[in-house]
Amino acid sequence: MRAQRRLAGLVCGMLNASLPAANRDWALATRAEVAAIDNDAEALAFALETFWGLGVPGLGCRLLRIAVKLGGDDGLGQGLPRLGWRDRLRYWPRALGVASAFGACLMGFAYLAAAGAPGLYIVGNIAALGLGLVMLALVGRSLSSTAAGLGSVLLGLSLVLLGTAAFGEGASGATRWLRLGGLAVQPSLIILPAMVVGFARSRTVPSVLAMILAAGALALQPDRATAGALCAGLAAQWLLRPDRRGLIAFAASAVGWSIALMRADALPPTPFVDGVLASALDVHALLGLAVLGAMGLLLAPGLLGSLHGADAQEAYFAFAAVWAALFLAGAAGPYPTPIVGYGGSAIVGYLLSLALLPSRVPEVSDGRSAVHGDSRAPPDPSLRLAQP
């Protein structure tokens, strides 16, 4: 068999592997068409064109399905995305968040390698990404469609922040870390973003108390960046739905942030953790642009999810506001740059905050997702595809 013909057969095999099971008869029809074309070059060109038109979207669809499962949206009886998912990507913002986390982490690995960071830093971020995905899969399923008892959970998490301020590990007057074995973690980056998103879903008395305690804890630590992120997230919520509980929480966060700003913060910047954007620009302008791109990518789930109805907008806007504030703090001062810089706490915190976002997969009467391309009627493999 000639090389071009063998390559065309390989492309057909790749097409079959990339398509979801319900669409694989398209691969059979393509193989039949390729076999019917006498000219090897034309057969290869047709196979490549078909792979570009069907295989690449099919591969993206399969990857999106994995992300949907990790996000917990597959447990709602609404089906998984099929071909034609791109124009309805907004229905899976949590899945988009998983993809964004992967993309931003890859850009972060590139930055760490180019900036000369120790290899263990990259390994640590990879481990944090794996842990965060596990937590997302577990927590996402339990909190996808209900906020029952969420206020009590938020109250418990606020006590963790208070405990960190009182008994945590300190450096240069700041007490923001807990030591787990030989690993120092920053609880505020892990749980605060999720708490803010959770408050958008459950504005109960325990939730308000949790926000007040969190604001006080961050002022005591002090943690200017995270205190500012708390204030930004609660401000976004209150602007969308002004009520007394939201105002109390926002006012407490504003007071807490003001106190944190007034307190001395002499902690020196840590290489590869703080000031990542400036460091990346020093290495190369393109690396700096990649870091900026990663920051924008991580905000996409919140901005995309906000296209839904008002019942979900608060949580998605709060998500975007919290992470935007953390990115701005990392760019403007000696504060950690989430996800892109070294540090597993922010990676776990990002994925955990995704788990608190309300699921927005659309429901249709037959229990499947309302996405274009859901038709189960496959093409007849014996029919030839029309060539352009």
φ/ψ bin of 343: left (φ > 0), alpha (ψ from -120 to 50), beta (otherwise): left
Task: Label residue 38 by pLDDT band (50, 70, 90).
Answer: confident
How is 341-365 classified by DSSP, letter by letter? SS-HHHHHHHHHHHHTSPP-PPB-T
Q: Where do we find the tokens 């060109």? A: 45
257 touches 217 (CB < 8 A): no
Rounded Cα distance, 332 and 319, in Å: 20
Instruction: For residues 231-254, give the mean pLDDT.
Output: 95
Q: What percent of the chain has pLDDT over 90?
A: 45
> Where is pLDDT greater, at 369 or 73?
73
**Range among 83-92, 145-154, 293-302 with highest mean pLDDT value:** 293-302
Structural Rg of the chain based on CA atoms: 24
Tell me the average pLDDT across 101-105.
Answer: 92
What tens digit of pLDDT does each residue of 330-348 get? 998 888 999 999 999 999 9
- pLDDT score for 313: 85
Residue 56 clears pLDDT 50, i.e. is over it:
yes
Edge-to-edge strand list for the sheet holding 169-171? 169-171, 174-180, 183-185
Least confident of 73-77, 111-115, 278-282: 73-77
Query: What letters, b where the CB count within 10 A reaches 16 and e where it falls short, cover 268-307?
Result: eeeebbbbbbebbeeeeeebbebbbebbebbbbbbbbbbe
- Where are the strands (E) in 140-279, listed by range? 169-171, 174-180, 183-185
Return the structure tokens found at 344. Answer: 């597993």
The pLDDT of residue 311 is 61
In this prediction, residues 99-126 reach a mean pLDDT of: 93
In this predicted structure, the answer to whether residue 112 has a pLDDT above a threshold of 90 is: yes
> Which pLDDT does position 309 carry in this prediction?
58
pTM of the model: 0.80
Q: What local confidence, expressed as pLDDT, does residue 298 receive?
A: 93
pLDDT for the residue 211: 97
Residues 6+ apart with CB under 8 A from 35: 43
Residue 78 phi, psi (nearest 5): -110, 10
11 — pLDDT class (breaks 50, 70, 90): confident
Task: Tell me the pLDDT tens digit for each residue of 177-213.
Answer: 898 877 889 999 999 999 999 999 889 999 999 999 9
pLDDT averaged over every residue in the chain = 83
Q: So what's the pLDDT on residue 351?
A: 95
- Amino acid identity, position 57: P
Provide the pLDDT for residue 76: 45
User: Greater confidence, 204 or 387?
Assistant: 204
Residue 369, pLDDT score: 40
pLDDT of 120-175, one tens digit each? 999 999 999 999 998 888 887 776 555 668 899 999 999 999 999 989 887 777 88
Tell me the pLDDT tens digit for each residue of 349-386: 999 999 888 765 444 334 444 443 344 444 444 444 44
What single letter denotes the amino acid at residue 259?
Answer: I
Q: What is the pLDDT of residue 93?
A: 76
Long-range contacts from 172-178, C-beta under 8 angstroms, 24+ separation? 172/266, 172/267, 172/268, 173/264, 173/265, 173/266, 173/267, 174/221, 174/222, 174/223, 174/265, 174/267, 175/220, 175/221, 176/221, 176/223
